[in-house]
Structures are given as C-alpha cells and as structure tokens.
Amino acid sequence: MAATDQGKSVGKDATSRNTPDIVAVAIVQARLLIIVAGAIFGFLYVSGLTSVEISIIGFFALACGAVGQTYFAEDRRRRDVARAVTDSQAAQSREGIGSVVLEQMQDAVVLLDGDGRIIYHNSSAERFVGLSASGKLVPSVLREPILLDAIERVRTGGDAEEIEYIRPVPVEHHYQVVITPAETAENDGSGTPTLLALHDVTDMKRVEQMRVDFVANASHELKTPLASLSGFIETLQGPAKDDADAHERFLGIMGEQTQRMQRLIEDLMSLSRIELREHMPPRGTVSVSGLVKDVVDAIGPIAERDQVTIDVAMPDDLPMIRGDWDELLQVVQNLVDNAVKYGQSGGRVEISAERIDGLPDSSVGTGVELKVRDFGPGIPREQIPRLTERFYRIDVATSRERGGTGLGLAIVKHILNRHDAELRCDSVVGEGATFSVRFPAA
C-alpha cells in the first residue's frame, strides 16, 4: 500500500508542476498563430479576394489552429501523465528491489515505530523475533536487557548505539548490534522510529580466540626451553664454572633444548606456508607406494633403535593420486613417526594401502586409502576430535620427552584440506590406533 500511495502522489505532483508550462507554451503558440494568420490575410487581400471569402478562409484557419492548439496541449498533458506513471513504477520497482535485498541478507534487520512496535523484519530476524512478530511490542519478543535498554535510549531521542550481544542458547553466538534512529519512517508514536541490524560475528570471535590461544601456546612452548637454557648458562658461569663433568652434561641438555626450539620454529613456519597455499589445488601426481618407501627408509633406523618393527603391505596396482610430493611426504612421515613414537610399547607398526571406488561414508570417489596402525596404548574416544588442534597433546610429558611439538597433526590436517583428502582415526584404548587417509585419484 505504501508503494502504491507514493506512486499516486508522485503522479499528481508531476501533473500540477507541468500545468504552468502547458499554459506558457499555449500563449506562445497563439501569438505565432496570429502573426501567421495576419500574413495570410494580407496576402489574400492583395490577391483580390472579397472580404467575405477572406473571412470564411480566416474562420477555417482559426478553427484549425484552435484544434491544433488543443491537440498539442492534450498531447503534452498525456506525456506528462505517462512520465509521472513511469516515475511511480520506478519507485515501486526500487522498493521491490530493496525488499528482495533485505530478505536475502544474512544480517537480521528489524524496524520499530515510535512506540516500539515491530513494523518490519526480514527473514533472518525470525530466529530472534519469531515468524509473526509484526505489530508486537519489542519487549514481548526480545527479552535481553542489554538490547532493550539500548533500544529505549535511541527510541527516546538518544544517538545511534553499537553494542555486542551474546546469545547463549541453543549454541553460543556473538552478535554486533547497530541501533539507529529511523527519521524517515512514518511516526505516529511517542518516540523515534528505530532500526536494528544484528550481524553474527561468532566465526570472527572464534578465529580471534584461536589466534590468542595460538600465540599463548607458542610463547609457552618457546619459554620452557629458553628458561632451561638460561638456568644452565647461569650454572655454568657460576657454581659449575670449573666442573668439566657438569660442562659436558649441561651442554648436552642445552643442545637438546635448542633442537626442541628449532623443531618448534620449523613446524610453525611450515604451518604458516601450508595455510597460505591451502586454497591452491596441487597440480602434480604422486605415487603412494613411493611416499611410503621414502618414509620407511628415513624412519627405519629410528624404529630399529626403539625396537619397533614396521610392516608394509602395498599392492602394485594403486592409482596415482593428485598432490604435492613434499607436502604428502610430510603427511606420511608425521603419521608413521607418531606411530613409532607413541605406539612403541606394542613393538609393531603396520602400513597398508588399497584402492577405493567410492565409499558410502566418504566424499572421495575413486582413490587410495592409506592406513597407519600402531599397537600402543590407544587414544580415548573423547580426545580424537581434538587431535588436529594446534599444540593439543594427549600426554604432554611424553610428547615433549619424545620431541613432539603438538603441531604435527595440525600440519597434516591443513595439507589434506588442500588435497581434498580425508583423515580418520579409529582407536580402542589398550589396543592401539589406526590413522586412515583417503586420497582422490589423479
């Protein structure tokens, strides 16, 4: 209705504004007609026509001029009315487009009149105000005091406000709420019409918290070996200054702490590089058998030292997979290295691979599934979802003792994301763990 009424008023104003223009044009045309008629009459008189004949011709000329004048005026009026109708239709079209845009917005938008009644809300606002909130007072549908207080301040003449609102149920969400006076809205109420816009910033807050946690964890991981190095240096410069045995023992420990910091820094840099390229699909093709062979050759001596046997079962007809050799080598190396480190009590690690042709629980179609299984203590089920978090460790002391940085599986996750591959973990406490990676074929 609002759009229709506005269109009618636009048409009426356009017609009334153009009426003086029509009159002015008519006067000019009449004067030109008189001049032309006088010239014609003079010519006819000189030509020898009688006054009666001239009068008859003049009458018809004036009649034609009057008809023409009326036609031109009516034509001008029709064009003005058509222009007004076009302007009205354009206004309605703009309003329709605006309504479509508001309905497609992810942000919730609510418009209140001067009494605080809801006169409009888009579909995104329904999770706050319900499906049929129009005409209701805002306190009956929004019960959060921080929101209601801010709305009341703006409605009663205050300036625009921006607040942060946390909605705890059903799942905690953070919203940035902008509340502004809507001065152009029709207002028959006691206060100022008010516009609310609620923007969901939950993901942004989550990323910010991850950044804070990451910095805190990285600082802690670096602080521990640095504190150890500082203590040994003070000891070597003081009480153990002339103790050769202490020198040898402390320097060995200091070397281990330095290597620990170096591994951490290398993993941090590796993670940073991988994240930068995570959305760039790899272009090469890789042999899974070749990856496994290189990793076993590299880790084999370490496994022998820890008395762990590595068994490999690999068919000859595995398809090639699409990927970056260096990154996928890092994935396999991390998985096998973890199996040797944390599953060494079982004394055995199994590596196997097979061709897959679309599994019901997988988004990977034809490809290769690689499995790395250990027979160690296993992983509690509740801890499996957190394994790929940065700096997350099941056993902090054991991880540090064996040179872990807490970033290995986080690196694996980001590499596999880039390769459209899937990582799974199956484990039973006391029986070991199996990590499976499903790669799409090239």
Does residue 356 share a domain with residue 442?
yes
What is the largest distance, in Å, between two alpha-carbon atoms of the chain? 148
Does residue 338 share a domain with residue 326?
yes
Does residue 299 share a domain with residue 400?
yes
Provide the sign of the torsion angle of the four alpha carbons 201, 205, 208, 210, taken in this order.
Answer: negative
- What's the domain count of the chain? 4
- Last residue of a domain, which of 162, 185, 200? 200
259 pLDDT band (50/70/90 cuts)? confident
Which tens digit of pLDDT belongs to each residue from 359-391? 655 666 788 999 999 999 999 999 999 999 888
Amino acid identity, position 198: L
Q: Identify the CATH number of the domain in which residue 217 sits.
A: 1.10.287.130
Average of per-residue pLDDT across 318-337: 94
Q: How many CA atoms lie within 13 A of 188 on its CB side?
A: 2
Amino acid identity, position 348: R
Does residue 35 share a domain with residue 159?
no
Q: Identify the CATH number of the domain in which residue 367 sits.
A: 3.30.565.10
Interacting residues of 72 by C-beta distance below 8 A, sequence separation 6+: 25, 26, 29
Strands 348-357 and 309-313, sheet pairing: parallel
List the domain range (segments joined by +) for residue 210. Answer: 202-277
CA angle 223/224/225 to nearest 5° reads 100
> Is 60 exceeded by the pLDDT of residue 44?
no
Interacting residues of 179 by C-beta distance below 8 A, sequence separation 6+: 150, 151, 154, 160, 161, 162, 163, 194, 195, 196
Residue 181, classed as helix, strand or coil, is strand
Does residue 163 share a domain with residue 49?
no
> Percent helix, strand, coil in the chain (nearest 5)?
55, 20, 25
Q: Return the higher-pLDDT residue of 75 and 324.
A: 324
Residue 306, classed as helix, strand or coil, is coil
Does residue 39 share a domain with residue 130?
no
Does residue 437 share a domain with residue 301?
yes
Average of per-residue pLDDT across 96-106: 65
Q: Which pLDDT score is estimated for 266?
A: 86
Q: Return the higher-pLDDT residue of 218 and 323.
A: 323
Does residue 328 share a domain with residue 396?
yes
User: What is the Cα–Cα distance from 374 to 325, expressed in whole angstroms?
Assistant: 24
Q: Which two tokens stand for residue 212?
A: 């804070």
Does residue 384 share a domain with residue 293?
yes
For 382, counting Cβ atoms within 10 Å of its Cβ (0-12 exposed, 13-18 middle, 19+ buried), the class is exposed
Of the candidates 372, 368, 289, which has an alpha carbon nearest to the alpha carbon of residue 337?
A: 372
H/E stretch holding 186 reads none
Does residue 385 share a domain with residue 290?
yes
Does residue 183 share a domain with residue 91?
no
Residue 175, classed as helix, strand or coil, is strand
Does residue 207 share a domain with residue 191?
no
User: What is the Cα–Cα distance from 97 to 86, expressed in whole angstroms?
Assistant: 16
Of the candidates 78, 92, 75, 65, which has an alpha carbon nearest to the alpha carbon of residue 7?
A: 92
- Last residue of a domain, which of 104, 133, 149? 104
Which tens digit of pLDDT belongs to each residue from 4-24? 444 444 444 444 445 455 555
- Last residue of a domain, which of 212, 246, 277? 277
The structure's pTM equals 0.57
